[in-house]
Structure 1
Amino acid sequence: MKTNGEQGIRGRVAIVGMGVAKSGERWDCGPEELLLEAWMEAMADARIGPDDIQAAFVGGLAPWQFNLVTGARGIPVSGIENACATGGDLFRNGALAIASGAYDLVVVAAAGKQRDAGTTGIVMAGDPSTVGMEAIVHNGSVPRNFALYATRYMHHYGFSYEELRRVLARIAVKNHRHGLLNEKAALRKEVTLEEAMKAPMIAWPLNLYDCCANVDGAACAVLASPAVARRLRDDYVLVQGIGIASGWREGRIRRSYAFTMFPENVLAAQRAYAEAGIRDPRSELSHVELHDAFTVNELVDYEDMGLAPRGEAGRLVEEGYFDLGGPLPVNTDGGLKCTGHPVPATGLKQLYECYRQAQGTAGPRQVPNVRLSMAHSQGGLTGSFTTTVTILSPRD
Structure 2
Amino acid sequence: MSGFKDSTAVVGMGCTRFGDLWAQSTDDLLIEASSAALESAGLGLGDVDAFWLGTTRSGSSGLALSKPLKIRNKPVTRVENFCATGSEALRGACYAVASGAVDVAMAIGVEKLKDSPHAGLVAGTIFDDGTTMDATAPALFSALVDAYQRKYGLDDRTMREVLTHVAWKNHANGARNPRAQFRKEIDKETISTAQAVAGKLRLFDCSGMADGAAAAIVVRGEDAGRHSDAPLYVKALEVAAGPGGGAVGADADLTSFPEVVASARRAYAAAGIDRPAEQLALAEVHDCFTPTELVLLEDLGFAEPGKGWRDVMDGRFDAAGVLPVNVDGGLKAFGHPVGASGLRMIYECWLQLRGEAGDRQIPGIGPGTSRTRALTQNLGGPPGDCVSFVSILGIERG
TM-score for the superposition, normalised by structure 2 = 0.94
1:324 to 2:319 alignment: yes
- Structure 1, unmatched stretches of 5+, are none
Which residue number in structure 2 is paired with residue 311 of structure 1? 306
Corresponding residue for residue 383 of structure 1: 384
Alignment partner, residue 369 of structure 2: none
Aligned counterparts, 1:73-84, within 5 A: 73-84=72-83
Counterpart secondary structure, 2:217: strand
Give the aligned residue type for 1:159: L
Match of 2:365 in 1: 369
Distance 1:26 1:15 in 2: 27
Question: 1:26 aligned to 2:25?
Answer: no
In structure 2, the CA distance between the partners of 1:122 and 1:98, relative to structure 1 (3 Å rule), is: farther
Contact 1:124–1:139 (CA under 8 A) maintained in structure 2: no
Q: Which residue does the alignment assign to 1:275?
A: 270
Q: Hey, what does 1:199 align to over in structure 2?
A: 194
> How many Å apart are 1:288 and its aligned residue?
0.3
2: CA distance, partners of 1:258 / 1:192: 32
Shift of 1:300: 0.2
Provide the C-alpha distance between the structure 2 equivalents of 1:146 and 1:328, rounded to a whole number of angstroms. 25
1:225 paired residue among 199, 220, 223: 220
- Quote the Cα distance in structure 2 between the aligned partners of 1:90 and 1:201: 35
Q: Deviations over 1:251-282 (max 9, x none)?
A: 34631011111110000101110100101111
What displacement does 1:307 show? Answer: 0.3
How far has the Cα of 1:122 moved from its partner?
Answer: 4.0
Distance 1:377 1:127 in 2: 20
Amino acid across the alignment from 2:381: G
Partner of 1:236 in structure 2?
231
User: Equivalent residue of 2:246, what SS?
Assistant: helix
Larger CA deviation: 361-370 vs 287-296: 361-370
Structure 1 residue 236: deviation in Å?
1.0
For residue 56 of structure 1, report the CA deviation from its aligned partner: 0.5
Shift in Å, 1:125: 4.7
Looking at structure 2, the residues matched to 44 and 181 of structure 1 have their Cα atoms a distance apart, in angstroms, of 25
> Judging changes above 3 Å, is the alpha-carbon distance between structure 1 residues 130 and 208 closer, same or farther for their aligned structure 2 residues?
farther
State how far apart, in whole Å, the 1-side matches of 2:24 and 2:127 are: 36
Query: Deviation at 1:71?
Result: 3.0
Q: Give the Cα separation in 2 of the matches to 1:144 and 1:239.
A: 36
1:186 partner amino acid: Q
Partner of 1:117: 116
Moved more, 365-374 or 31-40: 365-374
Separation (CA, whole Å) in 1 of partners of 2:237 and 2:148: 28
- Assess, with a 3 A threshold, how the Cα gap between structure 1 residues 71 and 95 changes in structure 2: closer, same or farther: same
Match of 2:285 in 1: 290
SS of the counterpart of 1:303?
Answer: helix
1:141 maps to 2:127? no
TM-score, length basis structure 1: 0.94
Q: Does the CA-based 8 Å contact 1:244-1:271 persist in structure 2? A: no
Structure-2 change in CA distance of 1:254 and 1:198 (3 Å): same
Q: In the aligned structure 2, how far is the partner of 1:328 from the partner of 1:23?
A: 25
**Are 1:20 and 1:218, in contact at CA under 8 Å, matched by a contact in 2?**
yes
In 2, the alpha carbon distance for the partners of 1:32 and 1:376 equals 27
Match of 1:213 in 2: 208
Q: Which amino acid aligns with 2:365?
A: N
> Is the Cα contact below 8 Å between 1:127 and 1:139 reproduced in 2?
no
Would the alpha carbon gap of residues 49 and 64 (structure 1) be closer, same or farther in structure 2, given more than 3 Å must change? Answer: same
Deviation of 1:119 after TM superposition, in Å, equals: 4.8
Q: 1:163 to 1:55 in 2, by over 3 A?
A: same
Indicate the percent of aligned positions where both proteins have the same amino acid. Answer: 36
Amino acid at match of 2:14: G
Q: Is the 8 A contact 2:214 2:343 kept in 1?
A: yes
Q: Report 1:174-189 matches (<5 A).
A: 174-189=169-184
- Distance (Å, rounded) in 2 between the aligned partners of 1:25 and 1:317: 30
Question: How far apart, in 2, do the equivalents of 1:124 and 1:72 lie?
Answer: 32
| Structure 2 counterpart of 1:64, one-letter code | L
Between Structure 1 and Structure 2, the one with more helix by share is 1
How many residue pairs get aligned? The number is 387
Q: Deviations over 1:228-261 (max 9, x none)?
A: 3211121111001111100111234631011111
Q: Is the counterpart of residue 46 in structure 1 residue 47 in structure 2? A: no
Cα separation, 1, equivalents of 2:292 and 2:33 = 27
C-alpha distance in 2 between matches for 1:165 and 1:229: 46
CA RMSD of aligned residues (A): 1.7
User: CA–CA distance in 1 between the matches of 2:230 and 2:173?
Assistant: 25
Give the superposition deviation at 1:120. 4.1
C-alpha distance after superposition, 1:125-165 (max 9, x if no partner): 5689978xx55xx3000000000111111111111111111
Which amino acid counterpart does residue 369 of structure 1 have in structure 2? I
Does the 8 A contact of 2:54 with 2:88 survive in 1? no
List gaps (5 residues or longer) in structure 2. Answer: 367-371
SS in 2 for 1:228: helix
SS in 2 for 1:28: coil
What is the CA–CA distance in structure 2 between the aligned matches of 1:259 and 1:279, rounded to whole Å? 25
1:24 counterpart SS class: coil
**Which whole-Å CA distance do the structure 1 matches of 2:124 and 2:31 have between them?**
31
Q: 1:59 aligns with which of 54, 58, 67?
A: 54
Q: Write the distance in 1 (CA, Å) between the matches of 2:379 and 2:360.
A: 24
